[in-house]
Amino acid sequence: MRKENLTVLIVICLGTFFHIQSIGSINVSLSAIQKDFGASLAAVQWIGLMGAIMLCSLSLCFGRAGDLIGRKTVFKLGLTLYTLGAGLAAFSGSFTRLLVFRCVMALGLTMAAPLAGAIIASVYPHEIRGQALGLLASSVALGRTTGPTIGGFILQLWGWRGVFLANFLFGIPTCLTLFWVLRSGEERRKGSFDFLGAVFLIIGFPSVLIALSLGARSDWESPGIVLWFALAAAGLASFVWREFRARAPLMNLVYLKNRSLATALLSLVLATIVFYPISIFGALYMQNVIQASPLSVGLAMATLPLCTTLLSLLSGRMADRLNPKWIATLGLFFILLGLFFYARLGVGSTMGWSVLVLSLLGAGIGLFMPANEKLAFSTVPNQDYGMLSAMLTSFGTGSGALGTAVAVALAAAARKEAVIEGPAGFAHAQQFAFSSLLPLAALAVLVRLMVRSKRASRDI
């Protein structure tokens, strides 16, 4: 690796680690925020939900913007906006102002997150790109591992305002470093921006997530939920119609004719649907069924992203030396195996066995993600890396939210039908939910195996 490329990789990973760990630290603070402002639980949940909604609905917009005006420029501005929003949120005098400043943070996150992979893919050639993408995936997993711990520590010492203030203080040197290292100019491309497509996307994608979020907590047949789903269908259908006709689409659907890219995106969606809900169910299971202490639960849940961190580094190196298709397939098989064992955790399961299952899942995610991203980036030209990176971000975030909503709905239905109370009821509901998701994990493996993938020797 060239020295200047390595420096770019390090600062991009640093910026990515910064905003990922801050998400976990802020989520830990939600209860304290609710008590301080006397807000309802439904209102406080928007602090966390806002980021997912914006990532799904605006990632493609900023991916396209990065391809036009410069990926490094948009990435730097995004993290700067995120840092500024954290500083303002720390001194919010009302819950409404906190939501506004959290919206500023979410907007900054949406600008930066989709372009990290695109910057790295454009800097590193195909032959060593896997190592770089593996390090990026490790920084994401490490941020998820340390975020709740860091947030909990700061929350205990200085309260929820201290969590936002710490993000602001850490963000200042991070942004200064980014502006210094990424100070070289970028060539701007001539092209138009599909504003109409952006409007349709902003209508459609958030409506899906809002409908799923509300439906999981209430009646799916209520008029409000039906209205949100109808709005989502209209917005997304209009977006697809527009993208086929736009001169410069936000998402070039022609690329989906490439079987390798379509397979990479489909396997990402299927895998994320099945493993994302475990981040919520795992902690509840260990607390409600195994009756583990909060500290033990925190340490046990950290094993999943920790294994992802370690295996992402290995996956990247292996993807550079072997066909990345087989590395991604191995990762999907581990996810399938881990989900199979997780779906059988019950009242009699031990904490040690639960940790082993979470470790297996984390290892599968770590093997799958970098190799799958390398396959995806080998299918489009360099000038569209921003668009592709945004697609990966948007599809991954959206399918994760979908998987969580589906798992919660399945668990609720199982518990209602079985009429089992207490720990046994939760264990039964969880087993039903994740057993129902197993076919999707198996389908992801089959899809990955059925498509031929040539090992590219150079960039397109």
- In sequence order, what DSSP letters do the residues of 97-113 get, joined into one string? HHHHHHHHHHHHHHHHH
CA distances from 115 to 109, 193, 200, 240, 390 (A): 10, 17, 22, 23, 7
CA atoms within 13 A on the CB side of 374: 40
Pick 453 or 137 by higher pLDDT: 137
CA distance 407 to 399: 12
> What pLDDT score does 340 carry?
95
CA distances from 382 to 1, 71, 74, 141, 261 (A): 19, 12, 17, 26, 14
Q: Is the pLDDT of residue 88 over 90?
A: yes
User: Average of pLDDT values for 9-30?
Assistant: 81
Q: How confident is the model at residue 460 (pLDDT cuts 50, 70, 90)?
A: very low
Q: What mean pLDDT value characterizes the chain?
A: 83
Q: What percent of the chain clears pLDDT 90, i.e. is strictly above it?
A: 17
> What pLDDT score does 4 carry?
62
Lowest mean pLDDT among 205-219, 262-276, 303-317: 205-219
Total Cβ atoms within 10 A of residue 413: 14
> What pLDDT score does 122 carry?
82
CA distance 150 to 145: 9
Q: Is the pLDDT of residue 455 over 60?
A: no
User: Average of pLDDT values for 101-120?
Assistant: 87
User: Average of pLDDT values for 9-37?
Assistant: 80
Total Cβ atoms within 10 A of residue 431: 17
CA distance 43 to 47: 8
CA distance 378 to 261: 9
* Claim: this prediction has a pTM higher than 0.95: no
User: Average of pLDDT values for 75-91?
Assistant: 91
> What pLDDT score does 87 carry?
92
Nearest Cα to Cα of residue 53 among 273, 203, 168, 164: 203
